[in-house]
Amino acid sequence: MKNREAEQNEAQARPVDRRKFLALGGSVAAGAFLSGCGGDGDTGGGASGGEEVIRIVSSLPRTGSAKGQTNTIVNGIQMAIEDYNGKIGSFKIEYSDWDDATAAAGAWDGPTEKANAQKAVADPDVMAYIGPYNSNAAKISMPELNEGGLVQISPAVTWPGLTKKIKGVAADEPEKYRPAKRKTFCRVCTTDDLQGPLAADFAKEVLKVKRVYILDDKELYGEGLAKLFKQQCEAIGIEVVGHEGINTSSIEFGGLMTKIKGMNPDLLYFGGTTQSKGGQIAKDMVNVGLKCPMLAPDGCYEQAFINSAGADNLNGRCYVSIVGLDPAQLTGKGAEFVKRYKEKHKTDPEAFALYGYECAKVVLEAIKKVNKKDREEILKAVLATKNFTAGAVGGSEGWGFDANGDTTLRQVTISGVENGKFVPKKTVTK
């Protein structure tokens, strides 16, 4: 999924001599890396009583504007580990919460994500890498983890080109992320080639939109979604009266909103996130009297978006899509998770808390099945996941990974904002 600092970070990423990096080897490397990792720290500690450690790490933006969203993902991961009391068979399960953001950037950082992937590969105790949160960050860590044979499972990235060839992805995707000529990446959230078109269908069928103006944040996630939304609009007869990228460093967008108001659209679609000014755009729509509804993707499906825009600016006029179900729609184990989360953290879970939990449950069940400290066997077990019902999102029928490493749970929910909360309006399963 989400966020900015994209191509700039990739350009700034200094190449690391991977052979020298891995030559550190064994316990010296592991000790150095664990003492220097970012984030909020580790769950667990040194092994005691001769127990052998299996470590799961996550790499997420824990500094800056996305911290609120990633807090919920980490909470979900920790709750999954608690389900096993931190132990599977003879193995002690440890969790390390790593930060792939920097204070200077205020968001994810390319060199940091790359370093996290490299130190995970070099630590012999690490058996799984959960993350990242941003699709552009995945482009950086995927090749490192692929060469290292370490399973990577993301709760949030949705760019289709990371796993498959469809219209609109680069010609060398996804092969360039698989230098070892094998698959090591998977994700529990469905992809933008479902979310974007279904949002356009909702615009026509439910909102009765005939004319739309499209904005995006010029990032892989936001721009990619906007293009997919636009393609579907054109296919189903919605007139696209304009499409442009915004400057996310701008403080406000009053002039742009005034221009759009003059185009008289029935809808403003924003391909972007809370962090790339989704809330400010909503505010400025109201400030200039642009009365049409706003529709945004799951990068804005968080309470922080509502808070940044102001609930009064969104109530009854803003709709946001989310891959999967809204937490309020869950039944069975999903509803149990929501209840436990609320009891533990004294707040309702954000939607991505479910996917943090799901990622960790998939990994933990794979470790349980294999009952070995073996990256190759755990990788195979994760990718072979089918009919999975041990987590929060699969319901009674479960879900699995397809041949690309994508979830078979192809589901999108679109909610409206009412009284400062997301209220599900329509769910589509394909």
Provide the residue ranges of all domains of the chain, joining segments of one domain with +.
6-190+338-399, 192-323+412-429
Peptide bond into 174 cis (omega under 30): yes
Confidence class for position 396, pLDDT limits 50, 70, 90: confident
φ, ψ of residue 294 in degrees (nearest 5): -115, 140
Q: What is the mean pLDDT of residues 226-242?
A: 98
Does residue 63 have a pLDDT over 60?
yes
For 231, the token pair is: 């393609």
Tens digits of residue pLDDT in 185-230: 999 999 999 999 999 999 999 999 999 999 999 998 999 999 999 9
Q: What is the mean pLDDT of residues 65-74?
A: 94
Fold of 192-323+412-429: Rossmann fold (3.40.50)
For 67, left (φ over 0), alpha (ψ -120 to 50), or beta? Answer: alpha
Q: Are strands 101-102 and 107-108 parallel, antiparallel or unpaired?
A: antiparallel
Does residue 269 have a pLDDT over 60?
yes
Confidence class for position 394, pLDDT limits 50, 70, 90: confident
Closest by CA to 80, choosing from 315, 385, 366, 370, is 366
**∠ CA 118-122-123, rounded to 5°:** 120
Instruction: Give percent above pLDDT 70 in the chain.
Output: 88
Closest by CA to 154, choosing from 179, 176, 177, is 177
Q: Which residue has the tokens 């739309």?
A: 212
Single-letter residue type at 205: E
Confidence class for position 27, pLDDT limits 50, 70, 90: very low
Report yes or no: 238 and 276 within 8 Å, Cβ to Cβ: no
d(CA 227, CA 240): 11
Q: What letters, b where the CB count within 10 A reaches 16 and e where it falls short, cover 206-243? A: ebebebbbbbbbbbbbbbbbbbbbbbbbeeeebebeeb
| Helices 351-370 + 332-345 axis angle, to 10 | 110
Report yes or no: 144 and 22 within 8 Å, Cβ to Cβ: no
Q: Tell me if 6-190+338-399 shares its fold with 192-323+412-429.
A: yes
- For 6-190+338-399, CATH gives 3.40.50.2300
Return the number of other C-beta atoms located less than 10 Å from residue 140's C-beta.
25
Tens digits of residue pLDDT in 270-306: 999 999 999 999 999 999 999 999 999 999 999 999 9
d(CA 293, CA 260): 13
- CA terminus-to-terminus distance, the chain: 20
Q: What is the mean pLDDT of residues 324-341?
A: 95
Does residue 36 have a pLDDT over 50?
no
Report yes or no: 144 and 117 within 8 Å, Cβ to Cβ: yes
For 403, the token pair is: 């041949």
| Sheet bearing 239-245, strands edge to edge | 239-245, 211-216, 267-271, 294-296, 318-323, 411-418, 421-429
φ, ψ of residue 186 in degrees (nearest 5): -150, 170
d(CA 8, CA 13): 9
pLDDT score, position 49: 54
Q: Average pLDDT of the chain?
A: 90
Does residue 48 have a pLDDT over 70?
no
pLDDT score, position 34: 37
